[in-house]
Amino acid sequence: MRPALSPLEALEGLDATEKADIDRILETLVYLYSESRRVTKEVARQHGLTGPQVTALKMLEGFGDLSLSDLSARMSATNSTVTGIADRMVRDGLVERVRSERDRRVILIRLTDRGSALAAQIPVESMSVFAAALRSLQARDRRELTRILRVLSDRVADLVAEGGPPEAEARTEAQANAETEAEGKP
């Protein structure tokens, strides 16, 4: 199917086909990811909300009251980001802030009646297009995908963990060589 390696490629351990494959995979993933986000945002907008606001509503609907930290963790965002989102949702009457009795440092985010009603009204969750597409996959392919993604995420976790400064591992030998004298910043 694919042409044999040229001598140069063989010497350098490079493979143009491999690079093209990887670029294609990355491009497709970025497409899938950003398209899913775009659709979610569009759906949210039809209800007068933003994407992250829908995510928060659904989290609170599913789990009940959540501390701001818990909500942040479930939304994969930082506390400072979610503080702002909560601010706007309070402003719009979707949630309220309640001080925890157990630990007075904790602020619980709670749905208001209006927030609950809206959450019940909105059928979708984050990444709904993506989920729909996954649902249409053959079970076998879905299992394959799960397995491969597992491998990838383990590998990424390793790469990130190993090199404290996450610069030394994510590149080819050629790039590493070209960089040996390029340290420091203007």
Partner DNA sequence: GGCGGATGTTACGCACGCGAAAGTTCCAGA
Partner DNA sequence: TCTGGAACTTTCGCGTGCGTAACATCCGCC
The neighbour count for residue 125, using CB atoms within 10 Å, is 15
Q: Which is nearer to DNA, 33 or 147 (CB)?
A: 33
Judged by CB under 8 A, the residue of 91, 102, 104, 135 near its own copies is 135
Q: Is 36 in the site for DNA (CB under 7 A)?
A: no
Residue 94 contacts residue 118 (beta carbons within 8 Å): yes
Residues 148-167 that bind its own copies (CB under 8 A): 148-153, 155-156, 159-160, 164-167
The radius of gyration computed from the CA coordinates of the chain, to the nearest angstrom, equals: 23
Q: The dihedral of CA 56, 62, 63, 65: what is its sign?
A: positive
> Which partner from the list its own copies, DNA, none does 180 bind, CB cut-off 5 to 8 Å by kind?
none
Closest to DNA by CB, 18 or 169: 169
Among candidate residues 100, 123, 98, 106, the one with its CA nearest the CA of residue 47: 123
How much of the chain is helix, strand and coil, in % rounded to 5? Answer: 65, 5, 30
**Binding-site partner at residue 148 among its own copies, DNA, none, CB < 5 to 8 Å by type:** its own copies
Which residues make up the interface to DNA (CB under 7 A)? 34, 38, 50-53, 67-70, 75-81, 83-88, 97, 103-108
